[in-house]
Structure 1
């Protein structure tokens, strides 16, 4: 591309590109006028790659205000041309429960297409939508058919969903016996979620008699299958007194296992163990390292604990500006009421001890960490 065309790209004039790769290279180089317009033109003319790229540009607000709804429209155009990646993405965006763009009726044809192609996740999704009557007439037998197809590929979440529906009486009659039968069946087939669920039911005495040894057995099997909640529950049980005298070493074993899966609360619990010398020799440095890991995973009580260490100088050099910034950000941003209350209390205490220069440093930390 010549200098004239490049200047047009920089300043928003009309430019042409020899290929989509050339336009993408211009966008990656920071040009957001002409190359984006060129890509849009190609997409409007039916270029599938251009349509997929327009989804990303709309999604990230490149060359335009971010507009996910418009991006989804572009992605759906690519899906309509048979692009399997786009079909899977549009099905997920429009169907998963926590998606802000969830639209089961619009999702249904794409979910069905992916399910019929053999996508086990979408087979579960199609079964769930059919079970709940979202975007389709409710039909338990049809839902089971899709859950069975997914289970043939080792995906047991669909059957778990039927068990949960019977447990809660949600879209199906409440039936504890049937829920337990399903949980036990798929637990034996390797469902970690079902093992954890059975552990919780036996621990709480819901649908069955309370049986803590049985609950521990289920939790251990679920933990071996990689279920973090089971690891954390075991850590909590051994830390408390429901199983007899607390066993802090055993508790720490399970928290460490969960921490190995990048769980912020688990790292916080590991930090507490080192901080208090429970189940391990007291070590403030290792406590700080664990609290730092928890904070890096955005676990707010980990941030509060780390800030406390900076206040006291335990395991780290005393740093009031850093502590103040940690407390301030938790107090401002957390959804955890306990963390917010503790952060506010500590924030007030630290504020009284800051010098003007330390306050300025703390405010700069807040700006840097908020960016």
Structure 2
């Protein structure tokens, strides 16, 4: 899925503050006072300084004052004032003002949502070399917002932004080349862009690159690289990556990636406690067979039951098989642990508990599937 157009205004101000250093020699008016005050969170002084500069027609002062009104920093939030000031600054060629003006039209802030007007201002910023503007133009072409859907144009603008290191543009290029959108499908090129975005910190790109290395799509199969990219995504908190990393360790082999049940247990635990039914099921397998840990039938039964509650159909058969090996005391212990776990989960994630179901009745006993990658 492509990344939506979402930016944090405070981050945009930081970007501007960094870029201002290149042009400060041209600013005879005391905009330095406002910039320094803002950095020190003295917003009253910053507001007064930027207001003075804006009244004098100073483009950067207009932009900074607009940004303070836009986000309600040091003053009451006022979208209409922000839009007017962005407009004045944008007409003087301040690229970030052009982009932010497009953003306000895009979101319908202080004005009725207008994709055509948003596209116009994004285009101004893009033509001036703004990677955020180029990304926004690419995204609007992709989704047909403000103009007809045009994958070729989307691809072109994503490439412009990606060459400047824009992470989400790099990721979206990977998606487009993977699916043949705007260009002929090319898995090798897709992997190149995913890898660039992954190295830039995109968890989605890290996951996709890992899948491609694990399955040998667009490249030779390389479980070590797959592990490395899954680890990056897993450490950033991506639940699916945590599960897949557990699968990779549980199904390893001596020639490519050594099997490591301790690591599998660690990563399955991480995702299982966040509601991943596959990880919950394989935790049941690990505890029921003592793989990398001590045999623990009550714990195994608990995870099988929880996995079923979260939608993993095969768990009920594994659970019924396990019941035949457990005594009443172990079964009671398992049910008590499961109740405690579900209670704690409901406190942490109250809305997601609606998707769970009741504990299953007995089902026909069938063998559990082997631990193999389910990427």
- Give the TM-score band, short-chain normalised: 0.5 to 0.7
Cα 1:192–1:353 change in 2 (3 A) is: same
CA contact (8 A) 1:123 1:150 kept: no
What is the TM-score with the length of structure 2 in the denominator? 0.59
* Counterpart secondary structure, 2:313: helix
Instruction: Confirm or deny that 1:348 pairs with 2:325.
Output: no
2:158: which partner in 1? Answer: 183
CA distance in 2, matches of 1:172, 1:161: 13
* C-alpha RMSD of matched pairs (Å): 3.9
CA distance in 2, matches of 1:149, 1:357: 69
Per-residue CA deviations over 1:201-227 (Å, capped at 9, x if unaligned) read 112222101222222211111111101
CA distance in 1, matches of 2:96, 2:268: 36
Q: Shift of the alpha carbon at 1:350?
A: 3.0
Aligned residue among 307, 311, 318 for 1:330: 307
Q: Shift of the alpha carbon at 1:292?
A: 1.7
Q: Greater relative contact order: 1 or 2 (C-alpha under 8 angstroms, separation 6 or more)?
A: 2
CA distance in 2, matches of 1:123, 1:136: 18
Cα 1:357–1:227 change in 2 (3 A) is: same
CA distance in 1, matches of 2:74, 2:326: 55
Per-residue CA deviations over 1:270-296 (Å, capped at 9, x if unaligned) read 222221224322222222122223324
Q: Shift of the alpha carbon at 1:170?
A: 4.2
CA distance in 2, matches of 1:253, 1:121: 36
Unaligned runs of at least 5 residues, structure 2: 1-68, 90-94, 345-375
CA distance in 2, matches of 1:139, 1:168: 11
Q: Shift of the alpha carbon at 1:348?
A: 3.4
Unaligned runs of at least 5 residues, structure 1: 1-79, 89-106
Q: Shift of the alpha carbon at 1:246?
A: 2.4
Cα 1:145–1:275 change in 2 (3 A) is: same
Q: Shift of the alpha carbon at 1:236?
A: 0.9
Cα 1:188–1:288 change in 2 (3 A) is: same
2:266: which partner in 1? Answer: 289
CA contact (8 A) 1:219 1:234 kept: yes
1:136: which partner in 2? Answer: 112
Q: Shift of the alpha carbon at 1:353?
A: 3.5
Number of matched residues?
266
Instruction: Confirm or deny that 1:251 pairs with 2:223.
Output: no
* Counterpart secondary structure, 1:210: coil
1:319: which partner in 2? Answer: 296
Q: Shift of the alpha carbon at 1:297?
A: 4.4
